[in-house]
Amino acid sequence: MERKINRREKEKEYEGKHNSLEDADQGKNCKSTLMTLNVGGYLYITQKQTLTKYPDTFLEGIVNGKILCPFDADGHYFIDRDGLLFRHVLNFLRNGELLLPEGFRENQLLAQEAEFFQLKGLAEEVKARWEKEQLTPRETTFLEITDNHDRSQGLRIFCNAPDFISKIKSRIVLVSKSRLDGFPEEFSISSNIIQFKYFIKSENGTRLVLKEDNTFVCTLETLKFEAIMMALKCGFRLLTSLDCSKGSIVHSDALHFIK
């Protein structure tokens, strides 16, 4: 009886050790397939098979010992390149195609990274994307806000993004209607022009919208402020050159935006 018990205990002990060794091997194998890269101060953890997806590249050379790479203080491979852009390099290796966020404007920098990492496929996709953007018409469009009786009084808003001009126009119409207390007949709208019924100049040069009862309702400065705030929130830069005699952006006759 004692012999059987001892034998069974030994079998359990052996099974426990065997399972522990298997778990340890699996953990070791899992760790051995992972690599941590320090790219310009940004840490990236990925699998070796991702980095070796394409042969004869810089990253494949590091993994397989063809290229000597320095280590940082924590023992991670250190690559002195753009750490933020490396995100797109790594995603290309993972997905096999170039997927960039909307509004990405660093094509030339990314092309340099693709060249450094010797990724021909990535370089070709970046080049194709850049050429497509160059062919896309980005003509400057404008929105004109004028006096129906005197078009010399008013404001022009220039931008190289037609969709944004449309957005500004919709917002200005909305603001104007709310300020005009339900009198939309005080202004007319065409494709690129909003004409108010009257503008007049006050003593300090402020242009105002005039209603039939001689009440000042909607200042042109308010519309300029709305346009500027919308542009800045959407990532556009204001290129307007200020006239020193006018002293303020709200007194400019034109606003120029570009992204």
How would you classify the pairing of strands 199-201 and 193-196?
unpaired
**Structure token pair of residue 184:** 């939309």
Residue type at 148 in one-letter notation: N
Spatial strand order of the sheet with 187-189 comes to 187-189, 193-196, 141-147, 154-159, 254-258, 237-238
Report which of 100, 97, 114, 119 is spatially closest to residue 52, judged by C-alpha positions.
Answer: 119
Segment 32-46, tens digit of pLDDT = 689 999 999 999 999
Helix (H) or strand (E) holding 213: none
More confident residue, 109 or 14: 109
Would you say residue 4 has pLDDT above 60? no
What pLDDT, on a 0 to 100 scale, did the predictor assign at position 44?
A: 97
**Whole-angstrom Cα distance, residue 200 to residue 231?**
27
For 164, half-sphere exposure in the C-beta direction (CA atoms, 13 angstrom radius) is: 26
What pLDDT, on a 0 to 100 scale, did the predictor assign at position 165?
A: 83
Which backbone phi and psi does 140 adopt, to 5 degrees? -70, 130
Q: Could you please state the CATH topology (level 3) that the domain comprising 34-135 is classified under.
A: Potassium Channel Kv1.1; Chain A (3.30.710)
Report which of 94, 82, 88, 89 is spatially closest to residue 118, judged by C-alpha positions.
Answer: 89
Domain ranges of the chain: 34-135, 142-258
**Whole-angstrom Cα distance, residue 126 to residue 132?**
10
Helix/strand/coil for 225: helix
Helix (H) or strand (E) holding 40: none
At 30, the pLDDT band (50, 70, 90 cuts) reads very low
Segment 195-251, tens digit of pLDDT = 776 665 544 444 455 555 555 556 667 777 778 888 888 888 887 654 444 556 656
Burial of 114 (0-12, 13-18, 19+ CB in 10 A): buried
